[in-house]
Structure 1
Amino acid sequence: MQNHREIKKVAVIGGGLIGMSWASLFLARGVDVIVVDPRDEVKDELNDFVAKAWPLLSDLGLTTSTVIRQAQVTEHIANLTDIDFVQENGPDRIDVKQQLIEQLEQVIASDVVIASSTSSLKASDIQSQAQHPERILVGHPMNPPHMVPMVELVPGKKTTEQTLQIAEAFYQQMERVTIRVKKEVVGHLANRLTSALYREAVYIAAEGIADVEDIDKAITYGPGMRWAFIGPHLTYHLGGGAGGYQHYLDHLGPTQEARWKDHGTASLTDEVKATLVAGIEKELETQDRETLSQRRDQALVEIFKLKQRFGF
């Protein structure tokens, strides 16, 4: 594998929400993109998505051109040529991932890095049947990838350090914040953290402790406001006053442990799912999903600018 393969053309496998988001970012950063998806409507969907994303990316200073660039679209992996990097976004099923790898390895060069956007699967499992497993890793974003800068890099058992370095350099070229996850676990890092919170959020709704709307308010007007700038460890470090994190752990650690013991787990029964969906429908009484998505993305731009302004 080359040490410094210049990445000029990226293959985005899968033209769903994540794939279109990745493609928008890559195009904005001046990279040529070819999207592989069998659906007839994907080209129109992608062009529409990129057109809406471009002003936001421009506002973030991520575009290299004022002209909206377009990706090439193909139905078949066999049509990929001169690819320098692969961002794979297929369904989160190990058999599908392995089939995609098999098809990719028939047409791309042996030194091209393949990064999977999988939210839960392990790189070791994805690479287990590959001809060149050393060039495969997890490159997992948070949705939407073109707006949220974090990318988790998770190597498999056979992933080389060189592969990690190439992927890390590429994502940083895309102005992403890279995180190396040291051990393979289901869900990697960020999704495990959000899943822990979501489990309790579902339990609280299922037990009737609070409504869905108030649970969301509790996060967005409470800890979520701090989390945009500092993480949980730094939050509690500041919560420890002059004594810092050590003081917090010594004096308030027992209260944390008491809450851990009392946390619950709800099953996603039809009844619980109905409660959750009804709560969301109530939250969306004054706006539709598309409007909410647009407002979220515009707010993400402003939050990112604010983080830059204050050095977070």
Structure 2
Amino acid sequence: MTPDSLTPPGRLKAYDPAQDADAVIKLIEESFQLKNDPESMSIINQMRQSAQRETQLGWNVGGMYRQPGYVWVVNNQIVGNINIISFLDKLRHIALIANVAVKPEFQHQGIASAMTKHALRYAQQKRASEVWLQVGSDNMAARNMYMGLGFEVIRRVNNWVLDQAHPRLQSQSSCDPAHLKLTGRQLGDWTIHKAWLEATYPSDTRWYASVNFSQFQPLAWLNPFTWDWIGNLTHFALRREHTLAGVLSWQRGMQNADYLWLAMPERPDEDDILTCLMTNFLNNEWEGRTTRLEYPNGRMENTLQRLGFRLNRSLDWMKFKR
């Protein structure tokens, strides 16, 4: 029998932060091995603080809790968890299924499948136009289960981390001045820069990122409402014989980490372009703060590792199609 056809033991109930937070937090930490991930641990700490406030105040925030969650209970023990997070992207109401976790001793009994089916019904009741989830690329069992429920893999991305655990690279090479030259970004670069960004970070999942690429355009500073945001944004352009070859954008000021956004086309010399952009950033700009880069799976992985980036995880974006 497949997990989808099993009748799992136990029952589903709504997540109660005041009563369930400790068990759920422990389950998520252990299931996704988050203790070495500062950004994920920050989210875990926010969950913990929210539960503590409710316990101290003695009341439930109810509708203020923006991430509806459910837990699976067997013999009064929480053995599974699932969350449904809502996003609004223009006119699209998007539901993200997240934090699907089951204790190891209760896996392969249909619990994850039952929780996911409930999350899909919830998203349908809330009239979500799209339902997405992320799953570890190496988690074949979970990916097959989701595919059996109607999800399809749309793309695979790598999440890279640069932190002080890795020594700063002191590059022994430099950009060949006869062919590659670092410059500031120019006004006329935006059309091709935007096209590269949209190809690397497709719009169908960009709602999940803490970025608005319209604020990358050179004239964004004319809008005073963007000043705080664009004041923490720096662009580094690389040219090959006066032609734009790549742009690295550095987004500072985020709570848990800085972010890098790499825009360049796929080409035979892309590793050279990446090395030139990154060695300039690492040697002259980076101050040692945890810095993250999301990039398509399979592109320039060896070069990123050589530059000191650590592959934090590879994830498959899956979309509900049925």
TM-score by length of 2: 0.27
Q: Report the TM-score when normalising by structure 1.
A: 0.28
- Higher helix fraction (1 or 2): 1
Where relative contact order (Cα < 8 A, 6+ residues apart) is larger, the structure is 2
